[in-house]
């Protein structure tokens, strides 16, 4: 029987039969549909996915006319991680002139709003220099990262220590206090960078510390949008559903814990988000066909609900991409094509 080369979610190569690929596509979609209470992919969509995965070519792309806008997170960090010794300004010139980037993103090495706040006056002039030597839109990005607001890194008691002690009320109060501080930091830094000329602000990895983290992102967006009506805010999520670490937090009357991408985007729109970046996490022990069918099922539901542009997160370990520092081009290009063509996205 014909074998098709694909990979597990961790990037390890695996040969699968036609029947196994088809079974994984169906089961991946069913898993997402059951968790998110959304529709599974239609037969023609599963067939299209199968065609993509059974393509003999080592690299494939979308059909002409279906290209989408790309936005990024932590761009300079990735170049520094590879020990390419360029400053952030040159890094963004490389993205613009050599890597075909549609947008640029300047972020600090310590990619969270809290540590950027005391050094924002050093970030502003660099951004202003970047804006004077680039043409593509420049985003400034960072994470709410509520984990930095609890002890020993921050001022508030650590909920992860309080909860095992049964101090639930104290843990919830700590999360609520952290939200207020995080919102103040996000608004402070974002205001400064916007007033220095940033084309957009990215709140990245929102929800990483759970529902309080997501609440901070929504509140900060609403404040910034009221302060600067023309501001563009891209809100990128951390995971496929909002972890209920506090569990009772609400925004605009909606409980945040447990929301999936197609529900998150409606709140993002209400807050004033311009571009939404949903996430679906990759399961390393399942195949890429399983992960892609699952991710596309979640993301398609999100795109159907959205009235704002959607840029699906497709970095390492999300959007069906493998969890590996070196994404294999075979499955990465298939994932890119499949996500764009089936979800009818606005960007990645």
Partner 1 sequence: MGMAVTHAIASGMGGMRAAGDLVARMQISRGMKINEAKAYVAEKMKVAVSDLTDPVIMNEAREDLNLGLLHPHAGSPKCMEAKFNIAELLDIDINCVNRFRERASL
CB of 334 to partner 1, least distance (A): 8
The stretch among 47-55, 132-140, 152-160, 286-294 that binds partner 1 (CB under 8 A) is: 132-140
**Closer residue to partner 1 (CB): 40 or 336:** 336
Would you count residue 226 as binding partner 1 (CB under 8 A)? no
Query: Is 115 buried (19+), middle (13-18) or exposed (0-12) by CB count in 10 A?
Result: middle
In whole angstroms, give the CA distance from residue 68 to residue 140: 21
Would you count residue 62 as binding partner 1 (CB under 8 A)? yes
**Closer residue to partner 1 (CB): 12 or 17:** 12
SS (H, E, C) 97-124: HHCCCCCEEEEEEEEEHHHHHHHHHHHH
- Please state, in angstroms and as integers, the Cα–Cα distance from residue 17 to each residue in 27, 57, 295, following that order: 15, 17, 22
Would you count residue 268 as binding partner 1 (CB under 8 A)? no
CB of 177 to partner 1, least distance (A): 33
Q: What is the footprint of partner 1 within residues 228-267 (CB under 8 A)?
A: 230, 232
Would you count residue 101 as binding partner 1 (CB under 8 A)? yes
**Closer residue to partner 1 (CB): 29 or 336:** 336
Beta strand 254-255 pairing with 250-251: antiparallel
**How many residues bind partner 1, per CB under 8 A?**
64
- Please state, in angstroms and as integers, the Cα–Cα distance from residue 202 to each residue in 46, 167, 208, 253, 332, following that order: 33, 34, 15, 25, 24
Among left, alpha and beta (phi > 0; psi -120 to 50; other), residue 232 is beta
Would you count residue 61 as binding partner 1 (CB under 8 A)? yes
Residue among 6, 71, 150, 205 that touches partner 1 (CB under 8 A): 71
Backbone torsions φ then ψ of 46, nearest 5 degrees: -65, -35
**Closer residue to partner 1 (CB): 72 or 214:** 72
- Residue 266 is inside which H or E element, if any? helix 261-271
The stretch among 15-23, 61-69, 106-114, 286-294 that binds partner 1 (CB under 8 A) is: 61-69
In whole angstroms, give the CA distance from residue 340 to residue 59: 15
- Please state, in angstroms and as integers, the Cα–Cα distance from residue 156 to each residue in 175, 181, 256, following that order: 8, 10, 22
Would you count residue 304 as binding partner 1 (CB under 8 A)? no
In whole angstroms, give the CA distance from residue 304 to residue 300: 6
Which residues, at least 6 apart from 98, have a Cβ–Cβ distance to it below 8 Å?
A: none
Would you count residue 65 as binding partner 1 (CB under 8 A)? yes
Q: Which residues does residue 260 pair with via DSSP β-bridges, in sequence order? A: 241
Would you count residue 131 as binding partner 1 (CB under 8 A)? yes
CB of 313 to partner 1, least distance (A): 11
Residue among 210, 289, 309, 320 that touches partner 1 (CB under 8 A): 309
Binding residues (CB under 8 A) for partner 1: these are: 59-62, 64-72, 75, 78-79, 82, 95-97, 99-103, 128, 131-138, 194-200, 230, 232, 274-275, 308-309, 314-316, 321, 326-327, 329, 332-333, 336-337, 339-340, 345-348
């Amino acid at each position: 029987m014909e074998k098709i080369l694909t990979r597990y979610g961790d990037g390890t190569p695996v040969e699968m039969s036609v029947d196994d690929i088809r079974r994984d596509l169906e089961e991946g979609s069913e898993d997402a549909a059951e968790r998110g209470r959304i529709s599974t992919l239609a037969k023609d969509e599963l067939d299209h996915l199968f065609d993509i995965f059974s393509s003999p070519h080592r690299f494939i792309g979308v059909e002409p006319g279906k290209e989408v806008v790309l936005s990024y997170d932590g761009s300079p960090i990735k170049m520094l991680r590879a020990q390419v010794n360029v400053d952030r300004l040159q890094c963004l010139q490389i993205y613009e002139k050599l890597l075909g980037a549609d947008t640029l993103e300047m972020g600090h090495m310590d990619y969270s709003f809290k540590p950027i706040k005391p050094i924002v006056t050093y970030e502003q002039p660099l951004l202003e220099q970047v804006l004077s030597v680039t043409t593509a839109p420049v985003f400034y990005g960072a994470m709410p990262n509520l984990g930095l607001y609890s002890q020993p890194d921050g001022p508030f008691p650590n909920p992860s220590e309080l909860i095992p002690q049964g101090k639930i009320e104290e843990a919830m109060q700590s999360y609520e206090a952290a939200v207020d501080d995080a919102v103040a930091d996000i608004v402070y830094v974002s205001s400064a960078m916007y007033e220095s000329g940033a084309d957009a602000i990215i709140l990245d990895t929102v929800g990483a510390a759970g529902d309080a983290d997501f609440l901070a992102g929504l509140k900060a967006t609403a404040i910034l949008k009221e302060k600067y009506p023309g501001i563009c805010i891209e809100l990128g999520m951390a995971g496929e559903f909002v972890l209920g670490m506090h569990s009772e937090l609400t925004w605009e009357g909606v409980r945040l814990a447990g929301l999936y991408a197609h529900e998150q985007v409606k709140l993002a729109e209400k807050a004033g988000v311009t571009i939404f970046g949903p996430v679906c996490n990759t399961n390393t022990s399942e195949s890429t066909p399983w992960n892609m069918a699952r991710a596309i099922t979640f993301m398609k539901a999100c795109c159907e609900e959205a009235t704002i542009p959607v840029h699906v997160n497709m970095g390492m370990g999300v959007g069906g991409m493998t969890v590996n520092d070196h994404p294999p081009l075979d499955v990465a290009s298939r994932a890119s094509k499949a996500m764009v063509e089936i979800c009818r996205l606005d960007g990645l």
